[in-house]
DNA sequence: TTGTAGGCGTTATCAC
DNA sequence: GTGATAACGCCTACAA
């Protein structure tokens, strides 16, 4: 492995000049530049990212915190693989590497230490907990001015950088779709109220019903925990009340599919199913029988957006990259950005498609 | 942010001693040790991982290369989220951080540069391509002695470190299960032959049939590309031949589910379905109707295993961690390790469960 | 058991 | 435009 010194010698310049050429900084005579590049190429010189990071006190890494999932499937893999892809894609554009970390069962991750240890320059939190410790950890991050972005979750009364999808609107779309087709007795299987996510959906359902001149019937409001199993459990109560329920809107696809399974287990035939609309538009929804209508969430784009937001702003990391210049085309005025959702209609809720 | 120097002053020792205490190296008087720890604690000192890495010329990062997936869903998200979790879990145990990288569409990733730039100390490749360039890149890694491990893929005639599941055995199990129940006309929907994975499955199918005194009927051998769509396409041919096909074994769940969908689209009723066995035991399989029997692959454990293998051996990275001592309990004698698979039986292939 | 000092490979700040 | 040279913060012989 050739060293920078050898390159300098071969090119007949100083080591400093080699650096300048390779980093594209400062004025360089074209002839010099060419010679350095040539020598560098010939010797197969590769600058050490480690030394560079050290000298610049910037790791060049973007931390990504993932929820604790292993073997639990609490969150759908789809959800996080899409987000991660979006993040990775944009990170690459900005010359950042991804440092992925998993939350562990009991303990809160010490976010600030990650910054202090200089392992990361910025951080995206996908799986924030809903407890006090977690909040405190994030508040500390904020206080110390470390750039971070929370995804898919809203902390009211905090001014964190956040990226989310518009779940109020998404839920409204789902309800509107159902009422448009004449469904009136719509059960809503929501997730735990502790998630801002769930609260948004509930609000959307309210608005959607209101549009159609209806009110939310508390008796038709069920709560699961976003798992398929909780959908199956909800099916127990739904199966007995099919005379007063003609549609089910679930806060995610897994629960919707769980309800379908639960109903089948209890002998309800497919043709007697209520209409179904799920949420997330996951792979599983598409594969369900009947194919599940669902609110599509732009996970990939949300990932991209989070990185873009991090790259700018007061405490952004815009100068993270060394080489080519980075130019952001969009600016985000507010701390919280919501991306639009979209309703995908399939057989499960479409009277014309249903057989 | 307190510096090491301040800690040294407060504790009344030299900076070197602070380092020694914090890294747990060299003989230290208990009294000194206590004072340093106390001072460090009081000042909230956090050593820079960057500087440490630089001094040791070890990044402390484990690179993980993921296949190009974004928006394509070519590989199931389940597959890679499980592996990644396993890798992450074991990496954490060894004090390594995960540097995740996505393959891009056209270009081969320059693996060696990652090492030369000192971004990573070792590397796990999940989504190796099957072309010449990719192979060359890995050969170069090998030649330069960089520790890496290929997952879920076998390169014959190369001596790479590899972790895989025993797909020959897994496929044999699937076929045996079907023949045990009296199925004789078994169609096998395999993935592209270019994957060692597919080849293994084919071999397993051969062996399984042979056990039952049968031969592989080339007419019952179909090829898809592991996507649901290719399963749907295969269904076209299967639907017309249900008189001579009483069971379908697919090389992954997605294709199996695709076939189910394709059959339904063509008006085949569920009760007229052939028996189905899929592969991977993904979430989707469990959610299918009828629930899909499948060969379970221990993705999580494979991820863990890959890290363990990298941590030892001639070109291992056993000394990657600084603090607490690492002890490997198991040793792996061969470069290639196969983990056992397991057949999960559900309604799709079980005559007693089928309604 | 502890202190001293050289070195790790870049970046960045001065001079020239 | 280009060449010296001092940081950067930590590790680790080597000395004491």
Cα(B314)–Cα(B304) distance, rounded to whole angstroms?
19
Q: What residues of A are in contact with residue B287 (Cβ under 8 Å)? A: 228, 257, 261, 284, 287-288
**Residue A264: closest CA among A226, A231, A220:** A231
* Per-residue tens of pLDDT for chain A, all 355 residues: 788 888 998 999 999 999 999 998 888 899 999 999 999 999 999 999 999 999 999 999 999 999 876 555 545 677 888 899 999 999 999 999 999 999 888 888 999 999 999 999 999 999 788 889 999 999 999 999 999 999 999 999 899 999 999 999 999 999 999 999 999 999 999 999 999 999 999 999 999 999 999 999 999 999 999 989 999 999 999 999 999 999 999 999 999 999 999 999 999 999 999 999 999 998 888 888 899 999 999 999 999 999 999 998 545 565 443 333 344 445 566 899 999 999 999 999 987 554 4
Cα(A261)–Cα(A125) distance, rounded to whole angstroms?
33
Using left for φ > 0, alpha for ψ between -120 and 50, and beta otherwise, residue B105 falls in alpha
A 10 A CB-CB count for B350 gives 15
Q: Is the CB of A53 under 7 A from strand C?
A: no
Which strands sit side by side in the sheet containing A186-190, from one edge to the other? A221-223, A186-190, A247-250, A275-280, A293-296, A342-344
Domain ranges of chain A: 4-46, 61-160+299-338, 167-298+342-354
Rounded to 5 degrees, what angle do the CA atoms B321, B322, B328 make?
A: 40
Q: Which residue is nearest to nucleotide C10 (CA to C1')?
A: A52
- Cβ pair B78, B280 in contact under 8 A: yes
In this complex, do A49 and B78 lie within 8 Å of one another by their Cβ atoms?
no
Cα→Cα distances A129→A90, A155, B33, B169, B329, Å: 25, 11, 36, 41, 34
Residue with tokens 């510096």: B3
Peptide bond into B253 cis (omega under 30): no
User: For residue B217, what is the DSSP state?
Assistant: -
Q: Which residues contact A46 (CB under 8 A, 6 or more apart)?
A: A1, B113, B116, B117
Token output for B206: 């051969």
Q: Which residue is nearest to nucleotide D9 (CA to C1')?
A: B51
If you average pLDDT over every residue of chain A, what do you get? 89
In this complex, do B283 and A284 lie within 8 Å of one another by their Cβ atoms?
yes
Please tell us whether the domain made up of A61-160+299-338 is placed in CATH 3.40.50.1000.
no
Distance from CA of A14 to the nearest CA of B (A): 21
- What local confidence, expressed as pLDDT, does residue A355 receive? 44
- Cβ pair B161, B149 in contact under 8 A: yes
In this complex, do B54 and A59 lie within 8 Å of one another by their Cβ atoms?
no
CA B329 to C1' C8, in angstroms, rounded, equals 33
Cα(B160)–Cα(B146) distance, rounded to whole angstroms?
11
Q: Facing residues of B163 across strands?
A: B151, B337
pLDDT at B302 over 80: yes
Task: Outline where A12-121 has alpha helix (H).
Answer: 15-23, 30-43, 49-56, 77-93, 111-116
pLDDT, tens digit (0-9, with 9 covering 90-100), for A17-64:
999 999 988 888 999 999 999 999 999 999 999 999 999 999 999 999
Cα→Cα distances B354→A71, B20, B189, B191, Å: 28, 66, 22, 27
Same fold, A61-160+299-338 and A167-298+342-354: yes
CA B310 to C1' D2, in angstroms, rounded, equals 45
Cα(A278)–Cα(A292) distance, rounded to whole angstroms?
7
User: For residue A226, what is the DSSP state?
Assistant: S
Protein fold of B4-46 = 434 Repressor (Amino-terminal Domain) (1.10.260)
Distance from CA of B139 to the nearest CA of A (A): 17
Peptide bond into B305 cis (omega under 30): no
Q: Which residues contact B40 (CB under 8 A, 6 or more apart)?
A: B7, B11, B18, B21, B22
Please tell us whether the domain made up of B167-298+342-354 is placed in CATH 3.40.50.2300.
yes
- Cβ pair A285, A345 in contact under 8 A: no
């Amino acid at each position: 492995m050739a060293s920078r010194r050898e390159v300098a010698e071969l090119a007949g310049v100083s080591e400093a000049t080699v650096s300048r050429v390779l980093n594209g900084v400062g004025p360089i005579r074209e002839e010099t530049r060419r010679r350095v590049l040539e020598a560098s190429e010939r010797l197969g010189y590769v600058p050490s990212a480690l030394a560079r990071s050290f000298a610049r006190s910037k790791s060049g890494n973007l931390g990504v915190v993932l929820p604790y999932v292993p073997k639990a499937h609490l969150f759908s893999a789809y959800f996080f693989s899409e987000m991660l892809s979006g993040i990775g894609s944009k990170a690459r554009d900005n010359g950042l590497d991804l440092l992925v970390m998993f939350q562990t069962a009991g303990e809160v991750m010490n976010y600030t230490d990650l910054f202090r240890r200089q392992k990361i320059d910025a951080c995206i939190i996908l799986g924030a907990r809903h407890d006090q410790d977690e909040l405190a950890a994030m508040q500390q991050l904020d206080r110390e001015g470390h750039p971070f972005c929370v995804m898919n979750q809203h902390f009211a009364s905090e001014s964190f950088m956040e990226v989310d999808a518009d779940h109020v609107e998404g839920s409204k779309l789902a309800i509107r779709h159902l009422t448009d087709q004449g469904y009136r007795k719509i059960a809503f299987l929501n997730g735990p109220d502790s998630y801002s996510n769930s609260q948004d959906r509930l609000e959307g359902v309210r608005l959607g019903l209101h549009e159609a001149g209806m009110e939310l019937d508390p008796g038709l409001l069920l709560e699961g925990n976003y798992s398929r199993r909780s959908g199956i459990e909800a099916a127990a109560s739904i199966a007995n009340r099919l005379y007063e329920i003609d549609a089910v809107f679930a806060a995610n696809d897994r629960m919707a599919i769980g309800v379908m399974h639960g109903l089948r287990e209890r002998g309800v035939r497919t043709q007697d199913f209520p209409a179904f609309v799920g949420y997330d538009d996951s792979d599983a929804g598409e594969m369900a029988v009947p194919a599940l209508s669902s609110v599509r969430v732009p996970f990939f784009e949300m990932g991209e957006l989070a990185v873009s937001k991090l790259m700018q702003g007061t405490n952004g990391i815009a100068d993270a990259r060394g080489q080519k210049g980075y130019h952001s085309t969009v600016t985000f005025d507010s701390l919280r950005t919501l991306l639009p959702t979209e309703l995908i209609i399939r057989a499960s809720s479409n009277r014309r498609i249903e057989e």
